[in-house]
Amino acid sequence: MENIKLNNGVKIPQLGLGVFQIEDDKVLKQAVLAAIKAGYRHFDTATLYRNEQALGEALAESGIARDDLFVTSKVWNTVTTYDGTKQAFADSLKKLNMDHLGLYLIHWPKEGYLEKWRALEDLYSQGLVRAIGVSNFEKKDLDTLLAHARVKPAVDQVETHPYYQRPELHALLKDLGIAYESWSPLGRAKNGALQDPLLQKIGQKHNKTVAQVIIRWHLQKGEIVIPKSTHEQRIFENSNVFDFALSADEMKQIEILDKNESMN
Ligand SMILES: NC(=O)C1=CN([C@@H]2O[C@H](COP(=O)(O)OP(=O)(O)OC[C@H]3O[C@@H](n4cnc5c(N)ncnc54)[C@H](OP(=O)(O)O)[C@@H]3O)[C@@H](O)[C@H]2O)C=CC1
Ligand SMILES: O=C1CO[C@H](CO)[C@@H](O)[C@@H]1O
């Protein structure tokens, strides 16, 4: 799996497995073990997803050394203080049964996020997390955060798929040196992108599925991407994207599909 370097030099596997809405422990463990078998080493969870404990158990069962795994978690919106954030992080670490995390994010720019960021900075200085970042932050939120921050966020994790491409946010994050991470990269399989005729045509040309074309498109745009699946065959399919490349012309054609249409 390819890595990319974050702004503090830490390497993150560019493709990871998202585990939102996998709340059955058995299903989650099967998915995680299938992902490990397919070569995934990066997993994206959150307190909100209520599966950190099962994820920790599955990763321990996988036998992969902890230092070779990259786990992201996120502090939820109901936590609004410095102390609450430190406690939420400690709870996540305990559930995951780890001594540090790869990445810890503020899930949304809601109440108290500057205080929450101060807590993340301290967790980072203590070496408890390799990188810290934000999620669902728009320009105005980043401007406010950066005016107060001691540590620049390494990542902004935001909704992105072919019908919601966000070129302005891309340009902004590039200028700021903050990595762009896409959530719901497949449009959650419900916004029609997986049935898009142009993407089907491009897929046929490369002998790849539409999901593979979409994931490849995210990767070629330099994004970190975390598709979710509970099916072993799809988990493998979604990772089998490093043996082909979309041409500059195909990338341009996909750009035209943008409808600026969020699912949120
Ligand atoms: N920071 C934030 O606020 C948010 C973060 N996230 C993160 O992003 C991750 C991914 O986003 P998510 O919302 O789950 O949506 P995705 O865009 O990853 O889509 C997941 C859906 O696509 C289906 N699917 C996966 N692979 C394929 C395939 N190859 N062919 C056909 N269908 C497929 C899955 O079905 P099945 O499982 O049945 O295979 C599931 O229904 C989350 O799991 C979470 O980690 C998500 C939302 C918000
Ligand atoms: O991570 C998340 C999973 O999806 C939810 C619904 O879209 C989001 O609100 C949340 O941020």
Mean pLDDT along residues 238-259? 98
Q: From the CB of 46, is ligand 2 less than 6 Å away?
A: yes
Give burial (CB, 10 Å; 0-12/13-18/19+) of 186: buried
Confidence of residue 79 (pLDDT cuts 50, 70, 90): very high
pLDDT of residue 44: 99
Mean pLDDT along residues 153-161? 98
Mean pLDDT along residues 213-234? 98
- Among the bound ligands, the one closest to the CA of 136: 1
Q: Are 258 and 163 in contact (CB under 8 A)?
A: yes
Confidence of residue 144 (pLDDT cuts 50, 70, 90): very high
Long-range contacts of 187-190 (CB under 8 A, 24+ apart): 187/161, 187/162, 187/163, 187/263, 188/263, 190/263
Token pair 């992108």: residue? 193
pLDDT tens track for 24-71: 999 999 999 999 999 999 999 999 999 999 999 999 999 999 999 999
pLDDT of residue 85: 99
Q: From the CB of 76, is ligand 2 less than 6 Å away?
A: no
Average pLDDT, the chain: 98
pLDDT of residue 165: 98
Q: Residue 20 CA: which ligand 1 atom is closest?
A: 43
pLDDT of residue 145: 98
Rounded CA separation 234/22 (Å): 15
- Among the bound ligands, the one closest to the CA of 47: 2
pLDDT of residue 1: 79
- Choose the residue to mutate in 75, 77, 107, 181 for probing ligand 2, maximizing ligand atoms within 8 Å of C-beta: 107
Evaluate if residue 260 carries a pLDDT over 90: yes
Evaluate if residue 126 carries a pLDDT over 90: yes
pLDDT of residue 17: 98
What percent of the chain clears pLDDT 70, i.e. is strictly above it?
A: 100
Q: Interface pTM (ipTM) of the complex?
A: 0.99
Domain annotation for the chain: domains and CATH numbers:
3-187+222-243 (3.20.20.100)
